[in-house]
């Protein structure tokens, strides 16, 4: 089997690119651009267009020298850097734009050849000539890529000769004064720009041939930038020349003016026909290869991925290119086709530039041999969408909607590549910078952002503990649930991949799941509390079910001591299996004089409960037991100020207990018997009295519903709840 023929920089990239750049717009519309915009306006349009072309060319060239380039050109580069969903959606836009641009070139060719031979210039005449030309060029492409590329040298020579003929020509249309800016009866700059812009999109013709190049990492940057640079010089030079040779009115009305002022008109005719046909050939060669590459990646149907011959020529893909190009030819109006093509290319170029910017900013493995400044990609991205917004805002939003639909469709299709895409690096970079920022700031209790380690255990009511854990964590807090597997025999830990718990309910709640093997539950909890987390997002809260029946456990007492020593916020839920959380509409916060830190933490938790969609705008009560006969108004005023500062809308209830001196838990049992969730602070007590505290608390739970016990860490403020009794 003979080896597939490969092409060099000049033949494979520069020539197809420059032939497409110096194409139909240069010959058939550049004079019209100058006539409508004036010489300064035309130069501005040319420069802005080339700013987009240069930035995009630089961006794609830089990415191309980092990635292994395969068939599919721009699509291949984008899909390997930003992933299949974005690469595929932009690849489809580039493909459609390329196919429609074939129609653009062939309608331009039809305008010229019909005018030259007097075949008629009605829209149907142009459609007929364009269709015949499309059939002929498609047949040429079927013969083989090598044959088609070899014809480019003759066409390039014809274009050079035609330009020489134009610059050495004479004119009977010389204006009395050269218009620097547009006249009053001229078309708007936006319309003129939209028609001109496809002139600078030709550099993609060379990139589309990436799979057929000997050395794409060298050929793509060199050939692309050479083509863009030469095109810029030719367009500015020719625009200035035309402005001084022909008056504006003639330029606006005569699309064949460059042929009429040329030294040798047949040379210009040959250049026009050669340029338009070669540009169409570039699209016919490049478009199918983009579609073929996408089909091989399962973005588009596999049918279009099949090729024929030793070079795997994309014959099936060529069929679809032919159909789209023919639909464009049937539009029949060059200016209309040009505006549609402009939107497709501007959208694609914007994403190419942002792709480079994200790669260079976020990806540590991005090491291109062709290095440019990062801001160039960002500038190109902003320029593309600024121009789109100015040209046609509705068309811009429509283009973004189409790209977005394609993106989400490919996401749902779940097409993946073996290579990593840039989005992981982007998120890692953002997270890294965010962690450094968080780590540099001292945590304020009033802006408490919970990071909860949750031990939900295995029980019928596990999901309720998970629900409450997510509620207490608020909108931005994190919850990591640990499943502890007791194994006293095997010292071998679980593999890192096996430690991750992929649970559908966890994903629904937004909870991270992990599992570890431990020899002892309590040692496992203390080890996790001592080691889990990393800088910036260290866990600050331990949450678990209330330990009934463990009041005399030495291991549990030791665990509690360590957790208190580590200064975690501690949350224990006693879940009432019968009432559960009731109707999710009432919460009681119980305070006492010694609950100063716990009180502030309860108010923070109340804020998160109010904001939770699971709780139905609950009524929050703060109940304070007044054991010292302090002025009730004074107590209410102080608590109201504390509550007001934390922006929690609550009802404040002061319970005078100086005379009756009822036990605190008895009062709770009376007042919160029907409350959906009761929050009670854990007081400071000596660890040797833990058993006594647990027994009393168990008795309380018999008389009320689900209860959350709260023990705040030292970073919470001491709320001033000590009241001095007024003297008589």
Mean pLDDT of all residues belonging to the chain? 83
Same domain? 243 vs 335? yes
Same domain? 312 vs 374? yes
Q: Is the pLDDT of residue 297 over 50?
A: yes
The per-residue pLDDT for 570 is 93
Name beta bridge partners: 573: 545, 708
Same domain? 587 vs 627? yes
Q: Is the pLDDT of residue 83 over 50?
A: yes
Q: Is the pLDDT of residue 445 over 60?
A: no
Q: What are the tens digits of pLDDT across the range 545-571?
A: 887 777 677 888 888 889 889 999 999
Q: What are the tens digits of pLDDT across the range 88-140?
A: 888 888 888 889 989 988 998 998 888 888 888 899 999 999 999 999 988 87
Kindly provide the residue ranges of all beta strands, DSSP E only, lying in 527-628, ordered along the sequence. 541-545, 569-574, 586-591, 619-626
Helix (H, G, I), strand (E, B) or coil at 40: helix
Out of 47-51, 411-415, 647-651, 723-727, pick the least confident: 723-727
The per-residue pLDDT for 263 is 92
Q: In 209-368, where does DSSP find H-type helix?
A: 216-245, 248-253, 257-261, 265-296, 315-331, 334-362
The per-residue pLDDT for 435 is 63
Pairing of strands 677-681, 707-711: parallel
Range of the domain at 563: 445-711
Same domain? 409 vs 462? no
DSSP element (H, E) containing 480 = strand 478-486
Q: Is the pLDDT of residue 1 over 50?
A: no
- Tell me which of 1 and 102 has the higher pLDDT: 102
Q: Is the pLDDT of residue 417 over 80?
A: no
Which pair of tokens denotes residue 439? 């780590």
Report the 10 Å Cβ neighbour count for 483: 16
pTM recorded for the entire structure: 0.66
Q: Is the pLDDT of residue 396 over 90?
A: no
Is position 716 within any domain?
no
- CATH number, domain of 503, equals 3.40.50
- Tell me which of 301 and 145 has the higher pLDDT: 301
Q: Is the pLDDT of residue 537 over 80?
A: no
Same domain? 449 vs 370? no
Is position 486 within any domain?
yes
Is position 722 within any domain?
no
Give the span between the Cα atoms of 437 and 240, in whole angstroms. 54
Please state, in angstroms and as integers, the Cα–Cα distance from residue 608 to each residue in 473, 538, 611, 652, following that order.
7, 20, 5, 19
Kindly provide the residue ranges of all beta strands, DSSP E only, lying in 521-563, ordered along the sequence. 541-545
Q: What are the tens digits of pLDDT across the range 463-501?
A: 889 999 999 988 778 899 998 888 887 778 888 888 888
Residue 34 near residue 257 (C-beta atoms within 8 A)? no
Which pair of tokens denotes residue 10? 């000049």
The per-residue pLDDT for 727 is 43
Residue 679 near residue 708 (C-beta atoms within 8 A)? yes
Give the span between the Cα atoms of 683 and 681, in whole angstroms. 6
For residue 712, what is the DSSP state? -
Q: What mean pLDDT do residues 721-727 have?
A: 52
Is position 717 within any domain?
no
Please state, in angstroms and as integers, the Cα–Cα distance from residue 2 to each residue in 70, 71, 202, 211, following that order.
20, 19, 32, 17
* Contact residues for 51 (Cβ-Cβ < 8 A; gap 6+): 379, 380, 383
* Contact residues for 496 (Cβ-Cβ < 8 A; gap 6+): none
- Tell me which of 435 and 331 has the higher pLDDT: 331
Last residue of a domain, one of 417, 433, 460: 417
Residue with tokens 């209790």, as numbered in its chain: 445
pLDDT bracket for residue 704 (50, 70, 90): very high
The per-residue pLDDT for 726 is 45
Is position 428 within any domain?
no
Same domain? 412 vs 473? no
* Contact residues for 448 (Cβ-Cβ < 8 A; gap 6+): 540, 601, 604, 716
Looking at the structure of the chain, the number of domains it has is 2
Same domain? 381 vs 512? no
Same domain? 454 vs 511? yes
Is position 286 within any domain?
yes
Out of 122-131, 199-208, 296-305, pick the least confident: 199-208
Report the 10 Å Cβ neighbour count for 298: 16
Out of 116-125, 192-201, 267-276, 588-597, pick the least confident: 588-597
Give the span between the Cα atoms of 241 and 244, in whole angstroms. 6
- CATH number, domain of 96, equals 1.20.1740.10
Give the strands of the sheet with 677-681, arranged side by side: 512-518, 478-486, 451-455, 541-545, 569-574, 707-711, 677-681, 586-591, 619-626, 651-656
Last residue of a domain, one of 417, 435, 455: 417
DSSP element (H, E) containing 666 = helix 664-671
Q: What is the DSSP string of 350-401?
A: HHHHHHHHHHHHH-TT---SS---HHHHHHHHHHHHHHHHHH-HHHHHHHHH
The per-residue pLDDT for 446 is 46
The per-residue pLDDT for 323 is 94
Q: Is the pLDDT of residue 596 over 80?
A: no
Q: What mean pLDDT do residues 187-193 have?
A: 89
Same domain? 410 vs 535? no
Q: Is the pLDDT of residue 194 over 70?
A: yes
Residue 13 near residue 207 (C-beta atoms within 8 A)? yes
The per-residue pLDDT for 667 is 93
Give the span between the Cα atoms of 566 and 526, in whole angstroms. 9
Helix (H, G, I), strand (E, B) or coil at 707: strand
Q: What mean pLDDT do residues 402-427 have?
A: 67
The per-residue pLDDT for 180 is 86
Please state, in angstroms and as integers, the Cα–Cα distance from residue 502 to each residue in 454, 513, 542, following that order.
16, 7, 22
Same domain? 258 vs 319? yes
Q: Is the pLDDT of residue 386 over 70?
A: yes
The per-residue pLDDT for 235 is 96
Same domain? 222 vs 345? yes
Q: What mean pLDDT do residues 383-393 have?
A: 87
- Tell me which of 708 and 564 has the higher pLDDT: 708
Same domain? 326 vs 244? yes
Residue 177 near residue 297 (C-beta atoms within 8 A)? no
For residue 493, what is the DSSP state? P
Is position 564 within any domain?
yes
Q: Is the pLDDT of residue 289 over 60?
A: yes
Q: What mean pLDDT do residues 521-533 have?
A: 87
Q: What are phi and psi of 574, to 5 degrees?
A: -100, 110
Q: Is the pLDDT of residue 533 over 80?
A: no
pLDDT cut 90: percent of the chain above it:
26
Is position 315 within any domain?
yes
């Amino acid at each position: 089997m003979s080896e597939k023929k490969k092409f060099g920089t000049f033949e494979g990239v520069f020539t197809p690119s420059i032939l497409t750049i110096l194409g139909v717009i240069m010959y058939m519309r550049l004079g019209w651009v100058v006539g409508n915009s004036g010489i300064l306006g035309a130069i501005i349009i040319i420069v802005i267009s080339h700013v987009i072309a240069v930035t995009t060319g630089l961006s794609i060239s830089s990415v191309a020298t980092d990635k292994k380039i395969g068939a599919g050109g721009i699509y291949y580069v984008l899909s390997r850097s930003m992933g299949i969903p974005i690469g595929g959606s932009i690849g489809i836009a580039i493909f459609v734009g390329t196919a429609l641009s074939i129609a653009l070139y062939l309608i331009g060719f039809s305008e010229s050849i019909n005018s030259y031979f007097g075949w008629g210039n009605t829209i149907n005449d142009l459609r007929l000539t364009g269709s015949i030309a499309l059939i002929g060029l498609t047949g040429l492409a079927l013969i083989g890529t090598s044959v088609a590329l070899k014809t480019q040298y003759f066409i390039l020579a014809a274009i050079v000769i035609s330009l020489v003929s134009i610059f050495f020509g004479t004119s009977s249309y010389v204006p009395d004064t050269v218009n620097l800016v547009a006249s009053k009866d001229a078309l708007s700059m936006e319309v003129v720009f939209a028609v001109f812009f496809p002139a600078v999109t030709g550099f993609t013709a060379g990139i589309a041939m990436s799979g057929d190049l000997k050395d794409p990492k060298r050929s793509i940057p060199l050939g692309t930038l050479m083509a863009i640079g030469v095109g810029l010089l030719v367009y500015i030079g020719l625009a200035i020349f035309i402005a001084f040779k022909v008056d504006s009115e003639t330029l606006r009305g005569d699309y064949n003016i460059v042929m009429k002022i040329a030294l040798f008109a047949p040379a210009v005719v040959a250049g026009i026909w050669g340029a338009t046909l070669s540009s169409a050939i570039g699209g016919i060669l490049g478009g199918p290869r983009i579609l073929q590459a996408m089909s091989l990646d399962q973005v588009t149907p596999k049918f279009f991925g099949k090729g024929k011959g030793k070079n795997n020529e994309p014959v099936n893909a060529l069929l679809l290119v032919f159909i789209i190009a023919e639909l464009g030819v049937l539009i029949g109006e060059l200016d209309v086709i040009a505006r549609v093509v402009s939107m497709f290319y501007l959208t694609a170029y914007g994403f190419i530039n942002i792709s480079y910017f994200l790669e260079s900013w976020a990806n540590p493995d991005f090491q291109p041999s062709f290095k440019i400044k990062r801001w160039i990609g960002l500038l190109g991205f902003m320029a593309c969408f600024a121009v789109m917004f100015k040209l046609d805002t509705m068309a811009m939003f429509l283009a973004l909607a189409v790209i977005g639909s394609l993106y989400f469709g490919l996401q749902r299709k779940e097409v993946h590549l073996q290579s990593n895409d840039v989005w992981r690096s982007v998120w890692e970079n953002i997270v890294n910078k965010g962690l450094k920022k968080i780590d540099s700031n001292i945590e304020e209790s009033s802006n408490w952002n919970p990071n909860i380690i949750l031990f939900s255990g295995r029980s019928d009511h596990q999901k309720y503990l998970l629900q409450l854990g997510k509620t207490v964590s608020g909108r931005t807090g994190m919850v990591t649930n640990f499943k502890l597997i007791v194994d006293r025999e095997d010292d071998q830990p679980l593999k890192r991949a096996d430690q991750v718990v992929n649970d559908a309910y966890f994903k629904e709640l937004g909870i991270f799941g992990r599992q570890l093997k431990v020899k002892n539950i309590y040692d496992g909890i203390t080890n996790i509390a001592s080691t889990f987390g990393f800088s910036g997002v260290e866990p600050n809260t331990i949450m678990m079910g209330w330990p009934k029946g463990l009041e005399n456990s030495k291991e549990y007492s030791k665990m509690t001591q360590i957790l208190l020593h580590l200064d975690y916020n501690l949350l224990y839920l006693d879940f009432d299996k019968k009432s559960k959380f009731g109707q999710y509409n009432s919460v009681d916060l119980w305070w006492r004089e010694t609950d100063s830190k716990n009180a502030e933490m309860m108010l923070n938790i109340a804020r998160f409960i109010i904001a939770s969609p699971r709780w139905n705008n609950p009524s929050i009560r703060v109940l304070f037991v007044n054991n010292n006969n302090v002025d009730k108004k004074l107590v209410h005023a102080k608590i109201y100020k504390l509550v007001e500062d934390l922006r929690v809308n609550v009802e404040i209830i002061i319970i005078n207990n100086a005379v009756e001196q009822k036990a605190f838990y008895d009062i709770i049992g009376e007042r919160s018997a029907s409350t959906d969730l009761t929050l009670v602070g854990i007081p400071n007590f000596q660890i040797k009295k833990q058993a006594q505290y647990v027994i009393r608390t168990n008795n309380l739970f018999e008389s009320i519903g689900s209860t959350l016990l709260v023990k705040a860490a030292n970073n919470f403020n001491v709320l001033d709840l000590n009241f001095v009794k007024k003297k008589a």
